[in-house]
Chain A
């Protein structure tokens, strides 16, 4: 047999070891259980050789090379812990410590401090004078301990740099920075975001963005990847500082968008203290966006979480027991006609919650009146979106693509893991195009930026379709330079073997969305592109699959499918003939909506008082003031229940309970099952989500435990027709009375109907809801400053918004991020603006 030539043999600390060629001395040592101290090295990053902690002795070399950057070689004789090396390491470490202000590291009282902390004495003694929020988790601390350094012979140099706290989610105290450069490499090599660099040198050296920019101004995505790799307390998560080490971790699926990243929840004393990316090769590749990384902890820990069911009447609220709540609902339901009963669910719920919810409505209430609030998000483009979504290719298609077209997608704060995948592919040399009316993350580094006027996006896609079909585009309303760019993009897409089109949520609420989505589908057909829709709702697919729409039965079959109905009848042991399906969520916003009973599992849009006689509101947080809920039920967050989600690729992934819900809150499926049992219904004896899944598997092929563990892509096809509303009113050009054009997008950063900005402090800065973006020029002309209130009036509405001056906003155009319910048509529409009187 041929000798394996890629192995080498060397000696480390008198031990003979073998390794693959290409490995560094450090790699080989660690593979063989020999520990060499390191500070600047990190497994996700390229070796740097900056901290010199890992110096070793190599026989035959006159200097001491760093183990992390020196390739091991056949026959090498390495010594890692000689007295001389240990002394040199201690010396270098002292140099670090002389510029590091955490005196705890070398404090004489170190041991006693910990031991006597619990005695009742002065604060500094009982709590320990801890200067660093990373205490107990700091790598510098660990190395100091392991090298036994207890004294610093050098004078202490305190740099006195003010702590930077102005950015959301994490603070920076560069007095603690050891310039290991992990954050810089993370941002530049892995995230490819280029926000951080080294500035100045010697004792003035500091990390940060160019000039005096804040991270927000420098284009930071707040992915927190730099914070995760910082070995010291320099970069610290605001919400997690001082929390200490977690007791345990739990891997689950992020609930904030259809990408479905795998998240590692950090748990301490039955409380979530943080969330970090899981090491996942399939979906997020060890990355997260700002929502998965930072928003989770605050959202689930809010002290205003509902803990107890309560009844509301005439502005008075009082707690009730679960039994009393169930009895009240049962009584109201008994007196409600099926055609005037409805349930609204959020597409953020688990598959199991959604399945039980629709079964409850169909079996107990004898109606198909269950609908997802997602319908309101997508408006008139709903059906077109679902059809497009059905063509979804796996996320890995981006990795294999030869050209990518992004339409209406800005990956800065949402789906930024997809942004990282695209930038990685671009490094490989693929062509990248973006179609967006505003400046965004990719507008400058894409090969071509197609920049239509607001509301004209669909015409650009239609032009691409014609060009791809070999026709000319003579549309004079598209500027000549853009026509050249369009031709370039169409050619590149046609010539590419495996193009991918990524659809963002940006233009989905425009009146042109139906035309836009149809054109995207046509374009994909013409150029043979895969499509990735990346829905804003993490479990939009799951809500289709579980049948939580009046048009759909479990397994994504149309309600009219006789065979499926029959199967369900025998499975559920009940008749499903003659059930009403005339109602959906759109009706709630109509004046003639007069339900007797409305059950909202998740959000409830502002509806007129008469829209429902009795309303149950089941959620994590109390209802908005406008919401006329009569009974409020506390529900478990996604971190407090077991279940599964189906992401935008149709990949089924597990949701795991990491902590207990607050108070006596219960998971949604459990509440509904208990209610059904209270009402004497059969078929709701589920006590665990597995049992629900067992039943689901009988109508949904591939929905077994094994498939969920394998995180497989479910073989599903969507062929139902969904009812859409929306008037599609044509857009009018601005006139002298209405000189501005206002376009509204529904904020996609929501959870169970609440904008994250309502419960997560940092999101108020990154993605506020209900603010009006205006260009600096327009603001100046109107005499407006950031945060001023303005009166906006158009043909169909009048509204007061606070303004936000945004550099990227084109002149003459205004942009509002609003909740579904605040959406008015036409969209975009011409409006006038004036400063509101104070």
Chain B
């Protein structure tokens, strides 16, 4: 599943830590970057690769919101719903998205372009409400900026 090149990267990651267990998160990120989400096979693959119990890898995947177990859209709209964002309008953000493209948390558009996810605090509370689209942060969101953003992404395709 990983190429020679990627396997080398895994070795490199492993070398940073005293135990392989510590490398699980990094390797899971690599896997998710490659496949968009982490399937059950992916969990088994990573566990075998790092020689750690599947139970522990599954525990990590299901604990963190940033790992996705189901297929995701090309653009992952990860809306922070933690305290600061919640107080500053994450409900509005989700509603605006729903009105615009018709999907809510855990859903994906039929064309596979967008999916919406709930995120825990992304460390950008000062600019709440916010969301991250794949790895880019979009902050101080208003209905207008959200609509513009989605239009721009649609245009990009």
Q: How far is it, in angstroms, between the C-alpha of A817 and the C-alpha of B61 when the chains are bound?
A: 40
Binary B-proximity of A628-657 (CB < 8 A = 1, otherwise 0): 000000000000000000000000000000
State whether A210 touches B63 (Cβ < 8 A).
no
B54 CB–A CB distance under 8 Å? yes
A199 CB–B CB distance under 8 Å? yes
* Residue from the list A195, A196, A199, A445 in contact with B62, Cβ < 8 A: A199
Q: How far is it, in angstroms, between the C-alpha of A211 and the C-alpha of B62 when the chains are bound?
A: 11
* Residue from the list B43, B56, B62 in contact with A194, Cβ < 8 A: B56
B6 CB–A CB distance under 8 Å? no
B106 CB–A CB distance under 8 Å? no
Q: Would you give the shortest CB distance from B18 to chain A, in whole angstroms?
A: 13
A201 CB–B CB distance under 8 Å? yes
Q: Would you give the shortest CB distance from B101 to chain A, in whole angstroms?
A: 27
Decide: A199 near B53, CB < 8 A? Known: A210-B43, A211-B40: no
A626 CB–B CB distance under 8 Å? no
Determine the chain B residues whose CB is within 8 A of the CB of A197 once the complex forms.
53, 55-56, 58-59
Closest to B55 in A: A197
Q: How far is it, in angstroms, between the C-alpha of A626 and the C-alpha of B39 when the chains are bound?
A: 54
Chain A CB count within 10 A is highest, among B40, B55, B63, for B55
A209 CB–B CB distance under 8 Å? yes
State whether B55 touches A201 (Cβ < 8 A).
no
State whether A199 touches B59 (Cβ < 8 A).
yes
Determine the chain B residues whose CB is within 8 A of the CB of A194 once the complex forms.
53, 55-56
Q: How far is it, in angstroms, between the C-alpha of A481 and the C-alpha of B57 when the chains are bound?
A: 31
Q: How far is it, in angstroms, between the C-alpha of A738 and the C-alpha of B96 when the chains are bound?
A: 71
Is chain B's binding surface mostly helix, strand, loop or mixed?
Answer: helix
Q: How far is it, in angstroms, between the C-alpha of A195 and the C-alpha of B55 when the chains are bound?
A: 7
Q: How many A-B residue pairs have CB under 8 A?
A: 33
Determine the chain B residues whose CB is within 8 A of the CB of A198 once the complex forms.
59, 63
Closest to A197 in B: B55
State whether A196 touches B55 (Cβ < 8 A).
yes
Determine the chain B residues whose CB is within 8 A of the CB of A210 once the complex forms.
43, 53-55, 57-58
Closest to A201 in B: B63
Determine the chain B residues whose CB is within 8 A of the CB of A195 once the complex forms.
55
Q: In chain B between 41 and 79, which residues have their CB closer than 8 angstroms to a CB of chain A? A: 43, 51, 53-59, 62-63
A200 CB–B CB distance under 8 Å? yes
State whether B56 touches A199 (Cβ < 8 A).
no
Binary B-proximity of A193-216 (CB < 8 A = 1, otherwise 0): 011111111000000011100000
Chain B CB count within 10 A is highest, among A195, A200, A210, A211, for A210
State whether A211 touches B58 (Cβ < 8 A).
yes
Decide: A200 near B43, CB < 8 A? Known: A194-B53, A194-B56, A210-B55: no
Q: How far is it, in angstroms, between the C-alpha of A201 and the C-alpha of B60 when the chains are bound?
A: 10
Determine the chain B residues whose CB is within 8 A of the CB of A218 once the complex forms.
55
Q: How far is it, in angstroms, between the C-alpha of A207 and the C-alpha of B55 when the chains are bound?
A: 10
Q: In chain A between 166 and 225, which residues have their CB closer than 8 angstroms to a CB of chain B? A: 188, 194-201, 209-211, 218
Q: How far is it, in angstroms, between the C-alpha of A445 and the C-alpha of B51 when the chains are bound?
A: 9
Determine the chain B residues whose CB is within 8 A of the CB of A209 once the complex forms.
55
Chain A CB count within 10 A is highest, among B40, B54, B56, B59, for B59
Closest to A205 in B: B63
Determine the chain A residues whose CB is within 8 A of the CB of B43 once the complex forms.
210-211
Q: How far is it, in angstroms, between the C-alpha of A200 and the C-alpha of B58 when the chains are bound?
A: 9
Q: How far is it, in angstroms, between the C-alpha of A197 and the C-alpha of B21 when the chains are bound?
A: 13
Determine the chain B residues whose CB is within 8 A of the CB of A201 once the complex forms.
62-63
Q: How far is it, in angstroms, between the C-alpha of A196 and the C-alpha of B55 when the chains are bound?
A: 6
Q: Would you give the shortest CB distance from A378 to chain B, in whole angstroms?
A: 37
State whether B62 touches A200 (Cβ < 8 A).
yes
Determine the chain B residues whose CB is within 8 A of the CB of A188 once the complex forms.
53
Chain B CB count within 10 A is highest, among A196, A197, A198, A199, for A197
Q: How far is it, in angstroms, between the C-alpha of A218 and the C-alpha of B58 when the chains are bound?
A: 13
Q: Would you give the shortest CB distance from A419 to chain B, in whole angstroms?
A: 16
Determine the chain A residues whose CB is within 8 A of the CB of B55 once the complex forms.
194-197, 209-210, 218
Q: How far is it, in angstroms, between the C-alpha of A218 and the C-alpha of B54 when the chains are bound?
A: 10
State whether A200 touches B56 (Cβ < 8 A).
no
Determine the chain A residues whose CB is within 8 A of the CB of B57 once the complex forms.
210
Q: Would you give the shortest CB distance from A443 to chain B, in whole angstroms?
A: 14
Q: How far is it, in angstroms, between the C-alpha of A525 and the C-alpha of B113 when the chains are bound?
A: 69
Q: How far is it, in angstroms, between the C-alpha of A445 and the C-alpha of B52 when the chains are bound?
A: 10
B interface with A by C-beta (< 8 Å): 40, 43, 51, 53-59, 62-63
- 5 closest Cβ pairs, A-B complex: A197-B55, A194-B53, A197-B59, A210-B58, A210-B54
- Name 14 A/B residue pairs within 8 A (Cβ), A-sorted: A194-B55, A194-B56, A197-B56, A197-B59, A198-B63, A199-B58, A199-B62, A201-B63, A209-B55, A210-B53, A210-B54, A210-B57, A211-B43, A211-B54
